[in-house]
Amino acid sequence: MKIGIIFALKEELEALLKVLTLKKQYEIFDLTFYECELDNKEIVLVESGIGKVNSARTTQILIDNMKVDYIFNIGVAGAINPGVSVCDVVIGERLVQHDFDVTPFNYEKGQIPNVGKFIESDDYLVNIAKDIKTDSNVHVGVIASGDIFVNDPKMSNKIATKFNALCCEMEGASIAQVCYLSHIPFLVIRSISDSVNGTNELTYDDFLLLSSKMVAKFMKELLSKI
């Protein structure tokens, strides 16, 4: 079994790399891949960079070159639902691109032609994630992605209301779309580093490392159960 895990930031990747056994690393198209091992499972880590294009590109490179059985995207996100707090964990049961808009052609906001509005994560992986025991509060629901660092409360409320989303970030739904089109089971998991309140970039800096460690711990436990 081979598992691919995509991160937007080096801090997110390094947090998980510390708890795995690194076998080798190499570069493809200027991306560094880390081949690791845990419980005789092959695990490939890669930092995509921020945003939907970077993450989609990295996902396809991972699929084409590594022949992975599963893909995960883990890292941090901003809470946009009042019931979700900093350091909580969100399991992305469904993903949506909140900035995708072809509504003039009679599609709903977020709906991608020939793909859909919401992309469903793999049921098997979601159910394993739901059973993970953790000190953090765990939420299961919609994660919204877009090429915007959301720090405007009005925008946050609009995304939360429109898509019933728990948190927002900048990569997960594009990874989901590539996996969906390539028939690769996937799951997105995020730890909350900030809550959108107009000054959340300050909270983000304070909690990035802590949230990265928390989601890495969650991911290690999940990997042991696959």
Query: Catalytic residue positions?
Result: 12, 194
Quickly list DSSP for the chain.
Answer: -EEEEEESSHHHHHHHHTTSEEEEEEEETTEEEEEEEETTEEEEEEE--SSHHHHHHHHHHHHHHH--SEEEEEEEEEE-STT--TT-EEEEEEEEETT---GGGT--TTPBTTTBSSEEPPHHHHHHHHT---SS-EEEEEEEE-SS----HHHHHHHHHHH-EEEEESSHHHHHHHHHHHT--EEEEEEEEEE-SS-HHHHHHHHHHHHHHHHHHHHHHHHHH-
